[in-house]
Amino acid sequence: MPFLEQSRWLFFLFSVYPVWCQTFIDPVIGFYPGQSMIPSKQNSNITIAFLLPYRLILDYTTMSEYDDCMFCSWIRQMDSGAELAVERINNDSTILPNTMVHVLRVQSWDQGIDPGDTMGGAAAVALELANEYEISGVVGETSDLSTMLTAGILSQFKIPFCGGVQNLPALSDKDDYPYYFRVTFSNKWGQDIALLLNLWNVKRVALVYDVDDIESKGACMDIKNNLFSNDIVILANRYYHGLRSDNDYDAILNEFRLVDARYIILCAQAWSNAYYFVEAAKKVNFTSPDHLWFVTQPPYPPDYDGGGTDPRLDFMEGMIYIAPKSVSPSDPARSLIESEWARLYEIDPLKYQTDHLNWASAGPFDCVGTLLYGFDKILRNNPHYTAQMLTSPQLRNQLKFNAFEDTGFNGTLLNPMKLDSFGDIAASTVFIMLNSTFWGPDGSQRPFAQIDKFSRSLGFHGSPVFNGGLTSPPNDGSIIMPVFIPSIYNYQGKFIIILVAIGYIVCAGFLVIVVSNRKTTEIRTLHAGHTLVTLLGSIFILTGFLSYLIPPTTALCYLRRWLTWTGIPLLISPLIMKTLLVYTVYSKKTVQKGIISRNSRYLSYGNAVILAGNSAILAYSTFVKDFGPIAFTSKHQVIHKCSNVSVSSRNSNSSGGGVSTITLLYLYNGLLLLSLGFAALSTNGVKPIHNETSLFAIFIPLFLLLAIIISSVPFDEYYAMKQVIGFWIVAVGIPILRIGPRAVQLANSSSSSSNDIRKFLNSNHYWNNGKQTTSDVWDDSQQKSTATTKSVSHQSRTNTNSKSAKNEDSSFVIQVNVMDLKMVYRLTYKLRYIGLSYHSNWSFVSSAMLCELNEKRWIHLISEDTHFALSGTQRNLLVETAGNCVFLQIPTADSGQRGELFQPCFMEAEFACEADAIQFMQVVDTSKS
């Protein structure tokens, strides 16, 4: 079989094998100067580091010692392959013609020999290597996890690093590893598999993977993402433990049987528990001609030696193995290197271990070649650069992975070696239908299909022969279990419909209240526009619930996501904007309609900005297709749901390391809630009638806590019930908190009798020239007199030295208006009298009454639940003039002296019901006594 497929899987047991440890004191094994017969090579030099677990093999002197160590032979071959590439380039006058390459061998992480650090040792070595040594590049590492640590650290120091054996998909993330590249595949087969399945019109598959193997888990995640984006339904997504022997394979296969899974994708290493899983599948007829398996590695028996026929391999016939296209053994450049390796093995078999190249030696060989050819290309394209500058900061910015995409190096794995846009080998993907010729002595089986890495074109090499001799792919099955969908025929559907109906009724009722009472103080203090936006958010969320009553498709899943996650910011942003408006008005101490209207308009635009940011995330989610339908079984039913997956680019080599869009949505709306909290703090001193934020700062966390509790309570196995209840609490609770109290106030106000208020005020509490009138009759003359007394407007443009005001009882400015017997007041006052200095700032008054008693004019003010009774002498002259400036003129002994001018700001307050008016008048009665 081809060497690339023969045993590459084995080395990745490094990442899952039981961990031994080692210490990392002085990790440098030694410095090995290069040798060359070319004189010009002595002009300059560079050093590259080989990073391998050398201490496992340092003391080995016989082949039997290597045979007794599971990994040691591969480690030795890796080192020898890398060294061979250095020797070839040091003796090649065309590559780095004036530069000698030296080698620094450095100890990396392994499953070692002495107690001490494990993965953390990789970080320690990388830091020491970057800080203490002038190296131009690094080659090596073994396990996926230690490679992630090393690649991340070396990228911070801008040191190029090539991996020859690592297949972890996450290493393709160039945001985290911009200086890392590899000459091996990334295990990201999702787009390739989806392309083939779409061609065969297959729309239903099942996934199973080894959860203990990070590489296999990453491979299935990439496949899952791409199946979603291609509208292929995942009937089941199951896993087993590769490091355990007590896996319940029958439970997985039973679920596959219940959903009639015909296409099965297995992500696992070879020579692992994957064999036992497929063996169990064979016993229940899941390897029949009606089933088709895709495998990321052939599921060989753990004790299979990797070559020759074996009756236990029969069940693998007809499985499709996905792999990168390798260089043909007959390729001239490859044949030349093979011959040289065989010759060197004859000379020193202990050093080279085998008489042919394999995965362990080929990867490091290609890594060194690609790295050094890349250096040579940079120096040739920039004649003013020198080799020593490869370690300088100004040149290291040019040594990212893309500097090595096309260096002209003829590799053993790809000829010429090329990298894709994610720093992975750009070999085409091939599909091999496994049969005995694959694991036979010559490994000559050809692929039946191939996908070009760059053009994405799919080509066939003859018709594949499927299991049982079939020439066409099997049917993808049919649903043999009942599919559960909420509807009017089950309690889940009825419950969802009832919740939606209640929510619509609540929203409709509040909508009528807001629109019909938009000019009242209760609604104006809510800000009708922002309130309508809140109701719109609730309607969006409630409408999204109806999608649970329809079998999910990709389009329906995204419709639900758009409705729900558009509704949430529509609920939150109006609260933020309204609170900012309140803060702006109170901080400027103004009620000028022009200023308030302008700020209100600007803040209304803020709702649009917040919604635009949220919509951008949703649009990105729709573009990358990270959300779609998935099926699972529960209580012998098939349940379909919409599921989130991590962000995956449409490119098959996408990094896979990005943040999922559902996480972005949570973060974005979490920031909105945090902003609401800050807004609540900024307006903490504002009265509740104008400021609702403090209430929401308490209740919204309670809503969220309640939703979380509900989602964790196992009251129903159908997942949608918990989601609907949690979102319903938020969607209906916020409008109730906002509009409910104002609706109650309006109801109380409408139920009061205006005649009773008129009678009460006229018969019991009207004061005329210091004499109380008790008549129950409200005649026109009394009404006119009362209105004249209680409606006073003042203005003056005169100024007086502020010292003159100190001799008076108090200095204040007020405007009082009585309208429609609901006693609406516009007023403000500023106390200047030193004896009242504790109210030296502007105060905002909620209620007021102007009356006369004992030849004095009294003005009773209520400010933040504090009562003031301010009096002036009867000889005060109240002069009414046009304008917005109100003043009180106080004559003195010198009649030519005028009173002090005050510039007021206005606000409105009113008695909404008879009870409030009576209570206020009782307070006035008390003040008069």
Q: Residue 223 — very low, low, confident or very high, per pLDDT cuts 50/70/90?
A: very high
* 349 pLDDT more than 60: yes
Rounded to the nearest integer, the mean pLDDT of the chain is 75
Spatial distance between the Cα atoms of 486 and 545, rounded to a whole number of angstroms: 11
Supply φ then ψ for residue 514, to 5 degrees.
Answer: -65, -45
Strand order in the sheet with 292-295: 458-460, 449-451, 429-433, 320-324, 292-295, 263-267, 204-210, 233-240, 627-634, 637-644, 483-484
In the predicted model, what is the mean pLDDT of residues 97-121?
72
* 604 pLDDT more than 90: no
In the predicted model, what is the mean pLDDT of residues 539-567?
91
In the predicted model, what is the mean pLDDT of residues 133-139?
95
> Residue 646: its pLDDT value, please?
52
Q: Where are the alpha helices (DSSP H) in 765-885?
A: 780-790
pLDDT in tens, 770-785: 333 333 322 333 333 2
Spatial distance between the Cα atoms of 549 and 497, rounded to a whole number of angstroms: 9
Whether 81 and 363 have beta carbons less than 8 Å apart is answered as: yes
> Residue 907: its pLDDT value, please?
29
> Residue 596: its pLDDT value, please?
60
> Residue 42: its pLDDT value, please?
94
pLDDT in tens, 814-865: 333 332 222 223 333 333 332 222 233 334 444 455 544 444 444 555 544 4
In the predicted model, what is the mean pLDDT of residues 447-475?
89
> Residue 3: its pLDDT value, please?
33
In the predicted model, what is the mean pLDDT of residues 431-459?
85
> Residue 698: its pLDDT value, please?
67
Spatial distance between the Cα atoms of 338 and 352, rounded to a whole number of angstroms: 12
Q: Residue 645 — very low, low, confident or very high, per pLDDT cuts 50/70/90?
A: low
Tell me which DSSP letter residue 889 carries: B
Spatial distance between the Cα atoms of 93 and 88, rounded to a whole number of angstroms: 10
Strand partners, 94: none
| Low-confidence winner among 98-107, 306-315, 475-484, 580-589 (lowest mean pLDDT) | 580-589
> Residue 158: its pLDDT value, please?
95
Residue with the bigger pLDDT between 672 and 504: it is 504
Handedness of CA 781, 782, 783, 789 (dihedral sign): positive
In the predicted model, what is the mean pLDDT of residues 505-531?
85
Structure tokens at 272: 């692992």
| Low-confidence winner among 52-66, 637-651, 708-722 (lowest mean pLDDT) | 637-651
* 575 pLDDT more than 50: yes
Residue with the bigger pLDDT between 9 and 98: it is 98
> Residue 276: its pLDDT value, please?
95
Q: Residue 81 — very low, low, confident or very high, per pLDDT cuts 50/70/90?
A: very high
Whether 406 and 418 have beta carbons less than 8 Å apart is answered as: yes
> Residue 674: its pLDDT value, please?
84
With 0-12 / 13-18 / 19 or more C-beta atoms within 10 angstroms meaning exposed / middle / buried, residue 908 is middle
- What beta strand segments (E) does 126-232 contain? 137-140, 161-163, 180-182, 204-210
Q: H or E stretch including 860?
A: strand 856-863
| CA-based nearest residue to 525, from 754, 844, 753 | 844
CA distances from 855 to 768, 785, 859, 876, 925 (A): 11, 17, 13, 11, 16
Range among 103-117, 460-474, 692-706 rated most confident: 460-474
Strands 180-182 and 161-163: parallel
> Residue 96: its pLDDT value, please?
96
* 731 pLDDT more than 80: yes
Q: Residue 468 — very low, low, confident or very high, per pLDDT cuts 50/70/90?
A: confident
* 120 pLDDT more than 50: yes
| Low-confidence winner among 202-216, 391-405, 854-868 (lowest mean pLDDT) | 854-868
Q: Residue 680 — very low, low, confident or very high, per pLDDT cuts 50/70/90?
A: confident
| CA-based nearest residue to 908, from 575, 530, 525, 578 | 525
> Residue 627: its pLDDT value, please?
82
Range among 28-37, 466-475, 629-638 rated most confident: 28-37
In the predicted model, what is the mean pLDDT of residues 500-510?
95
* 688 pLDDT more than 70: no
> Residue 190: its pLDDT value, please?
93
Residue with the bigger pLDDT between 921 and 567: it is 567
Q: Which amino acid is at 25?
A: I
> Residue 656: its pLDDT value, please?
40
| Low-confidence winner among 169-183, 218-232, 382-396, 435-449 (lowest mean pLDDT) | 435-449
> Residue 418: its pLDDT value, please?
95
Q: Residue 457 — very low, low, confident or very high, per pLDDT cuts 50/70/90?
A: very high
> Residue 849: its pLDDT value, please?
53
Spatial distance between the Cα atoms of 663 and 668, rounded to a whole number of angstroms: 9
* 895 pLDDT more than 60: no
* 517 pLDDT more than 80: yes
Q: Residue 122 — very low, low, confident or very high, per pLDDT cuts 50/70/90?
A: confident
In the predicted model, what is the mean pLDDT of residues 862-890?
38
> Residue 666: its pLDDT value, please?
87
> Residue 766: its pLDDT value, please?
30
- Over the Cα atoms of the chain, what is R_g? 41
Instruction: Express as a percent the part of the chain with pLDDT over 70.
Output: 68
- What beta strand segments (E) does 16-169 contain? 28-32, 44-52, 99-107, 137-140, 161-163
pLDDT in tens, 30-78: 999 999 999 999 999 999 999 999 988 888 999 999 988 878 899 999 9
CA distances from 73 to 86, 233, 493, 596, 677 (A): 20, 44, 62, 79, 62
